[in-house]
Amino acid sequence: MASEDVVSKTTGESAVSTIVNLAEEAKLASEGVKAPSHALLSICKSLIAGGVAGGVSRSAVAPLERLKILLQVQNPHSIKYNGTIQGLKYIWRTEGIRGMFKGNGTNCARIVPNSAVKFFSYEQASSGILWLYRQQSGNEEASLTPLLRLGAGACAGIIAMSATYPMDMVRGRLTVQTENSPRQYRGIFHALSTVFREEGPRALYRGWLPSVIGVIPYVGLNFAVYESLKDWLIQTKPFGLAENSELSVTTRLACGAAAGTVGQTVAYPLDVIRRRMQMVGWKDASSVLTADGKSKTPLEYTGMVDAFRKTVRHEGFGALYKGLVPNSVKVVPSIAIAFVTYEVVKDVLGVEMRISD
């Protein structure tokens, strides 16, 4: 009897153990099935947050964005835009409210995917770089340094810029054309197809090199300054700006404004050269830039270095910073709004991953 009881007890324990093991395996299998779906949902939410941030921030400063491009590429012998206030008044008087937002549809069509890819790429790059840094340092509690954040931001900027560059190229042309321009692009797809047909596929990436070189310090510094400044404020708590390791919306806007100011000032000359190179090959570019068709001198640059050299020789070093004032007025709130909108939308959507991780 005793031996039967022992056998029965052993059999019962074995059965219970088997059931528990099966339940654990079923749970793991269930989690394995759900994990990809959850990861995909998180990626979609992150992309949506980045896209919304880009669309909102750029639409808020669209008139200044158009004026900046007009100042960058206008003919120095036929000046029509002499500054931010005068330029905005001139656009309003000659083209009305539609002129203030000309090219914004194309800009949003470009910036929404650009911003989505940029923020998502930054999160992925920063996570990967942080993992490598912890593996090499042997410190599992290590966090990203400003230099590593700069690297992650540069990677994100290059990926986003390259993915959406043709849209940026045609956006520049749509923005500078006026009612008096002999050639009218009717919209995004018409501009893309026309450039592709008349100038070839390489024309869609004209100015890509200075864009990539410029985006490395621009986007890299934006993320590095914003994240590092936030961490510093949370750790030191100066003037009581941080409460319970959280910053107010106003403080985060100020961090974004500081990041935008540093990034755009460093990278601005490359942005000017990029815009000018985008006009090369456009046979009606010179008349578009003067907006009156009087000048027939073609714009010719053989490359980025040649564009720098000719711009400085013919117009002086200050030409590399044409449009800096309206760009500063535009970039500071734009970057600030983009960062804060991104974080707010992510909180609303319930995305757990944060760009400061």
Paired strand residues for 243 = 246
With a CB cutoff of 8 Å and minimum separation 6, the contacts of 178 are 94, 95, 288, 291
Among 146-150, 198-202, 206-210, 243-247, where is mean pLDDT lowest?
A: 243-247
Paired strand residues for 247 = 242
Separation CA 278–CA 176 (nearest Å): 11
Q: With a cut of 90, say whether residue 203 has pLDDT above it.
A: no
pTM for this prediction: 0.68
CB 181 within 8 A of CB 291: yes
CB 295 within 8 A of CB 78: yes
Helical residues (DSSP H) of 74-145, grouped into ranges: 84-100, 104-137
Report, as an integer, the average pLDDT of 228-236. 87
Among 87-91, 134-138, 269-273, 301-305, where is mean pLDDT lowest?
A: 301-305
Question: How far are the Cα atoms of 3, 12, 18, 19 from residue 6, in angstroms, in the given order?
Answer: 5, 10, 18, 20
Which percentage of the chain shows pLDDT scores above 90?
A: 11
Contacts 24+ apart (CB under 8 A), 192-197: 192/166, 192/167, 195/169, 195/170, 195/282
Token pair in block for residue 350: 């319930």
Candidates 137, 131, 112, 121; CA nearest to 52 is 112
Separation CA 263–CA 11 (nearest Å): 71
Report, as an integer, the average pLDDT of 208-218. 85
Among 18-27, 69-78, 153-162, where is mean pLDDT lowest?
A: 18-27
CB 308 within 8 A of CB 206: no
Helical residues (DSSP H) of 177-248, grouped into ranges: 188-199, 208-236
